[in-house]
Amino acid sequence: MPDLQKSDDYIIVLRTKGKRSRLASLFAEKAWHIAWRRKKARFLASQMRRVHLHREKQLMMKQLLTLAFAFLAISAYAQPEVVSAYNANKSGDFEAAVGYIEEALSNEKAIIKDKTWRYRGQIYLNVAKDSVLSSAYPNALWLAKESYEKAQELDIKNRYKGEIQGGFGEIQALSGSQGITAYNAGDFATAGKMFDLGVDIAAAFDVVDTMAIFNAALCYEKSDQIDLAIARYKTCGDFSYQVPNVYLFISTMLRNAGRTEEALTELQAARELFPREQGLIIEELNIYLEAEDFERAENNLKLAAEGDPNNEILWFSLGSVYDNLGKSSDAAMAYQKALDIKADYFDANYNLGAMYFNEAVQQINEANEMWKPRMTKDETAKQVGLEEAAKAKFKMAKPYLEAAHLAETEDVSTIRSLRDIYTRTGEDEKMLDMSNKLKALGAQ
C-alpha cells in the first residue's frame, strides 16, 4: 500500500511538474507580451513627442513667417514713396518719380537705406537724359552724383558696388557729351561746369581726366571766368598736359586783364621749367616791350635767338631792342642776321634802312647847326665831313629801303624815305617817281 501511495505521490508530482511547466510557459509568454506592449507604448510615446515637436516647430515657423510678412508689410507701408518712385521711373514717368523720391527723403527710415539713394540716382540720370526734363532740372546730373555717393556710403557690404559704379560711369559720360553740346551752343559757363563734374567723378576713382580739366579751363576762359580758368590750366601743367601752351594761355589772360605783374610771375615760373622755350621767352619779351623795359627785353631776346638761330623774327626783335637802346652796331648785326635768313623781310629791311637814314639826318642837322657867317677852316672841314658822312649813310640806307619798297609797294613811310634819299644823292628821276607814287596814294 505504501508503495502505491508513493507511486501516486510520484504521479502527482510528475503531473505537478508538467503543469508547472505549462504555467511557466504561460507566464513567460504573458511577460513577453507585456514587454512588447511597453516597448510599443514607449515607441508610440516617442513618435508622439516627435510629432508634437514637429508641430510646434511648424507653428513657430508660421509665427515667424507671419511676423516677417507683417514686418515687410509695415515697412512697405512706411515707405510707399520709394516704391512709387521706383514704379514711376520704371514706367518712364520721370517727373513723377522725382516727386515721389524727394518726398521719400522726409522719411527717416527711407533715408538710411541705400536702395532709396540708388533709385534717386537712377531717376535723376534719366531726367538728365531727357531733352525736355533736363532743362527743367539743370542740376539733375549733380543730384544723381550726390545720390550715388550716399548709396555708396550706405552700401557697407558692397552688394550694389557694380550698380553704383555703373551709375557714376553714366554720369561721367553724360557730363562730357552735354559739356560739348553746351560749348557748341556758346554756353561756355555751363560747359565748364559739366566738364568739372566729369573731372570730379574721375577723381573719385583716383583717375585724373586731364582732357576734361583742359576743356573746363578753355570754357571758363571763354566765359571770362579768369581765375577758374587759370586754376585748371595750372592743374594741366602739373600733369604735363598741353605744356608749355597752358602757361602762355595763363599769361595772355592776365595781361589782357591788366594784371601784368602776375603774368610775369607766372611766366618766370614757367621759364624755370622750360628755360629755352621760345613761346615763353617771346611772351615775356612782349610784356617788356609794352612797358618799354628794353634792358630786360634784350636779355630775353638773346636767349631766344640763341635757342632758335634760324628764326628771323627773333633777330629782328633783338635788332629793335638794340635800336631803342642806342646800340646801333648791335642793331645792324641783328637786322642783318634776320635778312640773311629772309632777304625780303620787310620789317628788317625797313628798320635797318630807317636806322641808317636817321643817322644821316642826325649828321645833316649837326652840320647845319655848325653854320655861321665866319667859320674857321677846321669848322668848315668838320661840317663838310658831317655832310659827307650823312651822304654815305643815305647810300647805306638806300638798298634796304628799296628792298622794303619791293616787299610792300604802297608803304608811305618807305616811299617818303626813298624820295628824300634820291634827292640827297641826286637821282632826280627816281625822286620824281617816288613823288608821283605819294600823290597817287594821296600822301605827300
Query: Same structural domain for residues 338 and 351?
Result: no
Band (38; pLDDT cuts 50, 70, 90)? low
Q: Whole domain around residue 324: which residue ranges?
A: 243-342
Q: Per-residue pLDDT tens for 186-228?
A: 999 999 999 999 999 999 999 999 999 999 999 999 999 999 9
Per-residue confidence (pLDDT) for residue 212, from 0 to 100:
97
Domains identified in the chain, total number = 2
Band (42; pLDDT cuts 50, 70, 90)? low
How large is the average pLDDT for residues 65-92?
Answer: 70
Query: Same structural domain for residues 295 and 363?
Result: no
Query: Same structural domain for residues 264 and 314?
Result: yes
pLDDT at residue 76 tops 80: no
pLDDT at residue 54 tops 50: yes
Q: Which residues contact 83 (CB under 8 A, 6 or more apart)?
A: 76
Query: Same structural domain for residues 256 and 337?
Result: yes
Query: Same structural domain for residues 368 and 337?
Result: no
CA gap 396, 409 in Å, rounded:
20
pLDDT at residue 313 tops 90: no
Residue 301 falls within a domain, yes or no?
A: yes
Query: Considering 324, 342, 360, which residue would you say is the last residue of a domain?
Result: 342
Query: Same structural domain for residues 384 and 396?
Result: yes
Per-residue confidence (pLDDT) for residue 78, from 0 to 100:
43
Residue 19 falls within a domain, yes or no?
A: no
Q: Per-residue pLDDT tens for 385-443?
A: 999 999 999 999 999 999 999 999 999 999 999 999 999 989 999 999 999 999 999 98
Question: How far apart, in Å, are the Cα atoms of 408 and each of 61, 72, 353, 356, 443?
Answer: 103, 90, 14, 19, 16
Per-residue confidence (pLDDT) for residue 62, from 0 to 100:
57
Question: Residue 373: is the preceding peptide bond cis (ω within 30°)?
Answer: no
Cell matching residue 127? 531726367
pLDDT at residue 9 tops 50: no
Query: Same structural domain for residues 330 and 354?
Result: no
CA gap 294, 256 in Å, rounded:
21
Most confident of 44-53, 115-124, 270-279: 115-124
Per-residue confidence (pLDDT) for residue 31, from 0 to 100:
58
Query: Same structural domain for residues 331 and 355?
Result: no
Query: Considering 342, 366, 387, which residue would you say is the last residue of a domain?
Result: 342
Query: Same structural domain for residues 318 and 352?
Result: no
Q: Per-residue pLDDT tens for 325-349?
A: 999 999 999 999 999 999 999 999 9
Query: Considering 342, 364, 392, which residue would you say is the last residue of a domain?
Result: 342
Residue 299 falls within a domain, yes or no?
A: yes
Residue 337 falls within a domain, yes or no?
A: yes
- Type of residue numbered 356: Y
Residue 218 falls within a domain, yes or no?
A: no
Band (33; pLDDT cuts 50, 70, 90)? low
Band (23; pLDDT cuts 50, 70, 90)? very low
CA gap 251, 118 in Å, rounded:
45
- Grid coordinates 585724373 are at which residue? 208
Band (168; pLDDT cuts 50, 70, 90)? very high
pLDDT at residue 77 tops 90: no
Query: Same structural domain for residues 352 and 444?
Result: yes
Residue 221 falls within a domain, yes or no?
A: no
CA angle in degrees (0–180, nearest 5) for 339-321-418: 55
Average pLDDT over the chain, rounded to an integer: 87
Cell matching residue 263? 603774368
Per-residue confidence (pLDDT) for residue 279, from 0 to 100:
85
How large is the average pLDDT for residues 88-104?
Answer: 97
Band (40; pLDDT cuts 50, 70, 90)? low
- Grid coordinates 505504501 are at which residue? 2
* Helix or strand holding residue 339 (H, E): helix 328-341
Per-residue confidence (pLDDT) for residue 8, from 0 to 100:
39
Query: Same structural domain for residues 323 and 364?
Result: no
Residue 114 falls within a domain, yes or no?
A: no
Residue 334 falls within a domain, yes or no?
A: yes
Per-residue confidence (pLDDT) for residue 25, from 0 to 100:
52
Q: Could you give the percent of the chain with pLDDT greater than 70?
A: 82
DSSP states of 79-144: -HHHHHHHHHHHHT-HHHHHHHHHHHTT-TTTTT-HHHHHHHHHHHHHHHH-TTHHHH-TTHHHHH
CATH number at residue 276: 1.25.40.10
